[in-house]
Structure 1
């Protein structure tokens, strides 16, 4: 047999009916639904645990099953998936390319292993935007800020500057109902409708802006110059700065159809690639819609094969 050329992925016979890329609620739902109809799957997740982002959500009020926080829901999903022998987990592995052919899909991993199956469900979700990703913020190129929702923070008695008015701010406030944290929320016109749920919270000061210029961090505080919608300018200081700018798709390169924002509309994809979860559109980024779309994706692959 001829030697494999350098840098050529090694194809592994996975002997599965479905490859699922992404181990969040949508990907896990796809694998569980596939198992429920007798399909064998392999689930590839770049983190070392399933549903990593759920562990960062301290309060839930919009999911079925009585789960009031993200970690409990994540543990429940992981236990459900562990009970099925029809799904093999590849944790800590990242898909680096997806290719679609007439009769199969090939997924290359960061280990240079290539997995093949008749269909693939793509549910890699989205990641947080940074100040450099939006036109209404000017910031030092090296500035990287944490999302308000991503990690537990010491918020008691502090003033936090929040860039963007995305809805996780409401989640943060519900999760810390008794904290005396003050949030200075600077947001563009496109976020006007998103701040309605926090408008009456006394801990929130809304700052509708045209533009924000972040200063380089010096000392224990952060400062920013703000231009309001009517052209007035002022400088704001806070103990720390966090993001609530929204998210951007994190799909791997390859045979995927993307819209101008980078999302992957399901109707535009190759017949052997089914897109699920937040990767479909910015409009349906909810846990319950992700779970439903993951289940639907697996069933679509199931019925096509039959």
Structure 2
């Protein structure tokens, strides 16, 4: 397919909070944008049942996502390419070319990359041994009604556990959380919840126990081994960056820090670093990325 004409000022890759904020900010300063998202806008935000760290009075992800999507869809300067996946991003001295899965190439002077992160699976970490390429759902995809009165084996101690428990204060599910030493600082907020059993492990070998049950052999920090049995299992072991192929500079951890990228490629949101994966920081970085492109097109210095 032919390249798009140069009728857009900015291409935004990713329709989460950072990408949507970039598009809204760009429209506010008169920039025409194309936003590419393979799914629905703010897809992951809709799956967050409870919020306690955002402005605006939103207490769950659905309400915040609805507000963000309504804002963006009322932005006439943003053209949405939903259901499309970016297969390559290339940058040169004059423009950025973004190829999508239809074969079409979108061209603009600048691009914001805000593709975020996806859940890490057992085969991605060294402290878990699992059969083959076993995949498990992250905790935030589990429905509380499906685990009422059951025992849930949670792999990892990442913070979505606290979010899940706050969102479902009446669930009587039992969460057996096995976590490595690297997650020890994350579990303080759930330590005193009576529905949680915490187990610090050096290694976990996950195996099926027959039927719907799962079992795992856990090796503790002192070398002792115990077998854990649960009704089902899910993940809370963190996320991995989901950067598109092409001209992006990746660090050793796979993330794409803003420093060192091509001058026409601006990274925003969770893709920047594992340290600032919060909704409010994503919204702020998306807005900042759009302003960076705006000032760059006008040769306005952003420092000093």
TM-score bin, normalised by smaller chain = over 0.9
| 1:109 alignment partner in structure 2 | 100
Alpha-carbon offset, residue 224 of structure 1: 0.3
Deviation beyond 3 Å, 4+ runs, structure 1: none
Question: Which of the numbers 16, 28, 43 marks the counterpart of 1:52?
Answer: 43
Match of 1:145 in 2: 136
**Mapped contact 2:123–2:133 kept (Cα < 8 A):** no
Match of 1:168 in 2: 160
Q: Distance in 2 between matches of 1:224 and 1:10?
A: 53
Aligned twin of 1:287: 279
Partner of 1:4: none
- Report the CA distance between 1:10 and its aligned residue: 3.0
Q: CA deviation at 1:180?
A: 1.1
Q: CA deviation at 1:216?
A: 3.0
Contact 1:126–1:279 at 8 Å: present in 2 too? yes
Give the one of 7, 10, 14 matched to 1:15.
Answer: 7
Count of residues in correspondence between the two structures: 297
Structure 1 SS opposite 2:131: coil
Matched, 1:78 2:69: yes
Alignment RMSD: 0.9
Q: Quote the Cα distance in structure 2 between the aligned partners of 1:238 and 1:35.
A: 50
Equivalent-residue separation in structure 1 for 2:178 and 2:5 (angstroms): 52
Residues 1:267 and 2:253 aligned together: no
Question: Which whole-Å CA distance do the structure 1 matches of 2:142 and 2:225 have between them?
Answer: 32
- Whole-angstrom distance in 1 between the partners of 2:272 and 2:65: 21
Cα displacement (A) at 1:181? 1.0
2:60 to 69, 87, 97: 69
The whole-number CA distance in structure 2 between the counterparts of 1:114 and 1:127 is: 25
Offset at residue 14 of structure 1 (A): 5.1
Unaligned runs of 5+ in 1: 1-8
Q: Distance in 2 between matches of 1:25 and 1:152?
A: 23
Q: Which residue matches 1:6? A: none
| Residue 90 (structure 1) aligned with residue 107 (structure 2) | no
State the match for 1:3 in structure 2.
none
Unaligned 5+ segments in structure 2 are: 299-304
Whether 1:131 aligns to 2:143 is no
1-structure distance, mates of 2:257, 2:164: 30
In 1, Cα distance between equivalents of 2:126 and 2:269: 27
Number of the residue aligned with 2:229: 237
Cα deviation, residue 150, structure 1: 2.2
Deviations along 1:202-242, one digit per CA (max 9) or x if unpaired, are 11110000000011352121000000001010000001000
Counterpart Cα distance in 2 of 1:28 and 1:297: 11
Q: Distance in 1 between matches of 2:108 and 2:45?
A: 28
Give the stretch that moved more between structures: 142-151 or 271-280.
142-151
Tell me the secondary structure at the aligned position of residue 197 of structure 1.
Answer: helix
Cα deviation, residue 151, structure 1: 4.2
CA deviations over 1:86-106 (Å, ceiling 9, x no partner) = 000000000010001001000
TM-score, normalised relative to structure 2 = 0.96
